[in-house]
Structure 1
Amino acid sequence: MQEFEEKHVNEMLEMLEKLVNTDSGSTDKAGVDRVGEILCQNYEQIGFVPKVHKSEQYGNSITLRHQDATNPDILIVAHMDTVFPAGTASERPFTIRDGKAYGPGVIDMQASQVMVFYTMKALVEQQISAYKHVEIVLNSDEELGTISSRSLIEEKAKGKKAALVVEPAREDGSVVSSRRGSGVYELHIKGRAAHSGMNPENGINAIEELAHKILAFQSLSDPDNGLHVNVGLIEGGTSVNTIAPSAKASVDVRISTASQGKTIDEQIQAIGQQNVLDGIELTLTGGINRPPMELTDGVQKLVDIVQTKAQALGLNVGHTATGGGSDASFTAAMNVPTIDGLGPVGGKQHSSEEYLIVDSLQERMMLFCNVLQQLSEE
């Protein structure tokens, strides 16, 4: 495997440069589809058969399995979209400086795309049958919350014994063994306008109602148990001398367990449906949109495999929890043992300073190969 890695290292970086220099922001359908075309062309050369799942609004998602695969039981999930708008690739093209690669989406997650492809290429060329045991989902809108591709991921997760999500490793090299779930709610409040000096008694102040709601929402947080509710955006009113006829709040929720999600949803719904001021009208939308990924016995088994294979390569790989969301939440919610953060090492995602540690691309490819080989033999 080491000979393969050394032979193809320049090819890996060339492929990474091509992907990074292709704009693929989540709302840039043409760009995401171009990334998909590049990946499909590469996979077809090593015997993988792509199936394109078309979307009118977002990029097309793609599923892949090798032509010799019959009933693959390992799912690999990797998203093709980035957070950067069209034109960013020409403004900040792929560069390498002092052992780090830079460019839009270089670590989140075009480096992972390269890692997965060259893992499959290595397995095929060395006739290690693990490639027959995998099904790959390349989805198009993870950065927007996996709006169009969630059902595809859930469909492909059915019957799988493991799901491997290749979001980048943490900056210290750790994989992700648990993630908090999340939700977003929006509360619209309708009051009644009136002049604040001439006839304030005729008005119903939507901002006053909003103040009660903010305090009620914020009081639901339970930090000691990994539950956070945050009113992150508010707006309301029309002028300083008008009783506010309308107001709005956007609420972010983070949960650590599925049971928390059910409870917090009921509590938020109750607050959002009960007015404090007479005459107020309330409209609450939203809900929990990403279930949590919990550290189960099945996940711990995957962690143990990763750490054992890492030690054999001379790597020290820890595991950690994180508050951010990913597609791992969807496979985990289907009771498929899931591990995340299996991609290369880097950091500063979603910023102009996003980077990949170049050496980790080969290291993580070798680790991924060995993990897949182990899983395919069980």
Structure 2
Amino acid sequence: MPNPETEILAWLAAQKGAMLDALREMVDTDGGSYDKEGVDRVGAQVARFMAAQGIPVETLPQPRFGDCLRATVDDGSGTGGGNDRRNIVLMGHRDTVFPKGEPARRPFTIDGDRAYGPGVADMKAGLVMNMFVLAAFRKFGGAPGPLVGLFTGDEEIGSPEGRPVIEAEARSARAVFNSEPGRPNNGIVTGRKGGVFSVFDIEGKAAHSGGNFEQGVSAIGELAAKITAIHALTDLSRGITLNVGLVSGGQSVNTVAPHAQGQIDLRYVEPADREEVMAKIEAIVARSHVPGTRATLTIKGEFLPLTQTPAAAKLFHLYEGAARDSGFATSGEFSGGCADSGFTAAVGAPTLCAVGPVGGKAHSPEEYLEIGSLVPRAQALARSILRLDATGL
């Protein structure tokens, strides 16, 4: 009788060329977070692939950003324990940080052992890997329960529409594998910071800076005072960082500034730190250092921290062995970056992040993918799924 594990691993070993072809098409398709049409074109590629493999796909329409796609592989052959009918989720986002037209300016290329292009590692290679792993289980069976491939469209801006879909899926998940890019040392991510992205808008009063300076109220003067106070909340010993990374304001050089804006990036480790620091930010925004100014604070996006629970630790040790048997050693790392994996962990799903193919220099023109990692990382994911019953999860 055929052995599904042997067949799955052998089939994946033969798919490197097909994976690269799919990756080329995906990288060469526009897909910035605010380009819904482009992100949905990437989704259409995923849907075509799934249809060709006989895998049903449900489209969950989203009004502003890329639609969410939910692919399912369930042949009813799961033989695990009491939890074997809970979904095993393979997750990834289709959007990138790059402006429209970037693939035309900088298309997918291969140079030696590396591939380049916008989003090649973060995280289109992970999407392709998930597609082929799902196809392998569709062809040969053997999964210890239903598999769900979740392909979202707005992670790079905090998943404002994708988050409810992700959380709903994770609440009933047995395990979640998020295929963000693997680390350059072959590591995966077992912990991440949370992040809050907010904007504060300041209103002052315009006046001619020479003719009636004393009648003006400078929003930019207030902005400067608030930035200094916000940055002072940074506490590196606790992993808390504050960065006002974008500022704007003013009307003209010879006008007392009637308006100004700052955008804040808060990163934290412990969930309780979020409330503490946000309360301090709110107090800073509410206080007027320059009399006569008014300010408002708006949260634009947010990620929750990924924390390693005992169940997630079991999942990591399972992956560690699967990686070893797939030809590489791995380790669990903590990252200051945020990802959708924080949402799944927060609702109780055992979660691993950065199980995708290895890459680096994300969000930059030098972003790269280690081509040789495509097959081994796919095989490690498949082995982890096949052996999930052994964890007791």
Q: What is the TM-score with the length of structure 2 in the denominator?
A: 0.89
| Counterpart-to-counterpart distance in 2, 1:179 and 1:157 | 17
Aligned to 2:322: 309
Paired residue type of 1:64: A
Q: Does the CA contact (< 8 Å) of 2:204 and 2:293 recur in 1?
A: yes
Aligned to 2:114: 100
Q: What is the CA-CA distance between 1:338 and the residue it aligns to?
A: 1.4
Q: What is the CA-CA distance between 1:178 and the residue it aligns to?
A: 0.9
Stretch deviating more after TM superposition (236-245 or 161-170): 236-245
Output aligned runs, 1:338-357, within 5 Å: 338-357=351-370
Paired residue type of 1:106: V
Q: Does the CA contact (< 8 Å) of 1:47 and 1:66 recur in 2?
A: no
Aligned to 2:50: 43
Q: Does the CA contact (< 8 Å) of 2:326 and 2:377 recur in 1?
A: no
- Please give the per-residue CA displacement for 1:240-281, whole angstroms capped at 9, x wherever unaligned: 444333322222111111100111111111111122333222
Paired residue type of 1:84: F
Q: What is the CA-CA distance between 1:117 and the residue it aligns to?
A: 1.8
What do you get for the CA RMSD once the two structures are aligned? 2.1
Aligned to 2:81: none
| Counterpart-to-counterpart distance in 1, 2:268 and 2:128 | 32
Q: What is the CA-CA distance between 1:104 and the residue it aligns to?
A: 2.3
Percent identity for Structure 1 against Structure 2: 35
Q: Does the CA contact (< 8 Å) of 1:181 and 1:329 recur in 2?
A: yes
How many residues in Structure 1 have an aligned counterpart in Structure 2? Answer: 377
Aligned to 1:14: 21
| Counterpart-to-counterpart distance in 2, 1:77 and 1:188 | 35
Paired residue secondary structure (1:55): coil
- Please give the per-residue CA displacement for 1:139-171, whole angstroms capped at 9, x wherever unaligned: 011122212211111111112122111001011
Q: 5+ unaligned residues in a row in structure 2: which ranges?
A: 1-5, 77-83
Q: What is the CA-CA distance between 1:345 and the residue it aligns to?
A: 0.6
Q: What is the TM-score with the length of structure 1 in the denominator?
A: 0.92
| Counterpart-to-counterpart distance in 1, 2:156 and 2:113 | 27
| Counterpart-to-counterpart distance in 2, 1:242 and 1:42 | 58
Q: Deviation above 6 Å: which 4+ runs of structure 1?
A: none
| Counterpart-to-counterpart distance in 2, 1:199 and 1:127 | 78
Aligned to 2:125: 111
Q: Does the CA contact (< 8 Å) of 1:169 and 1:344 recur in 2?
A: yes
Paired residue type of 1:313: S
Aligned to 2:33: 26
| Counterpart-to-counterpart distance in 2, 1:194 and 1:93 | 49
Cα distance 1:75–1:358, how it changes in 2: closer, same or farther (>3 A)? same
Matched, 1:226 2:233: no
Output aligned runs, 1:1-378, within 5 Å: 1=6, 2-68=9-75, 71-130=85-144, 132-286=145-299, 289-376=302-389, 378=392
Q: What is the CA-CA distance between 1:78 and the residue it aligns to?
A: 1.0
Paired residue type of 2:130: V
Cα distance 1:245–1:167, how it changes in 2: closer, same or farther (>3 A)? same
Stretch deviating more after TM superposition (351-360 or 173-182): 351-360
Cα distance 1:15–1:238, how it changes in 2: closer, same or farther (>3 A)? closer
| Counterpart-to-counterpart distance in 2, 1:189 and 1:8 | 55
- Please give the per-residue CA displacement for 1:190-210, whole angstroms capped at 9, x wherever unaligned: 222334444433333333322
Cα distance 1:167–1:244, how it changes in 2: closer, same or farther (>3 A)? same
Q: Does the CA contact (< 8 Å) of 2:75 and 2:141 recur in 1?
A: no
Aligned to 2:80: none
Q: Does the CA contact (< 8 Å) of 1:48 and 1:67 recur in 2?
A: no
- Please give the per-residue CA displacement for 1:215-260, whole angstroms capped at 9, x wherever unaligned: 2111111111100111222333334444333322222111111100
| Counterpart-to-counterpart distance in 2, 1:11 and 1:100 | 16
Q: What is the CA-CA distance between 1:352 and the residue it aligns to?
A: 2.4
Q: Does the CA contact (< 8 Å) of 2:325 and 2:380 recur in 1?
A: no
Paired residue secondary structure (1:129): coil
Paired residue type of 1:105: G
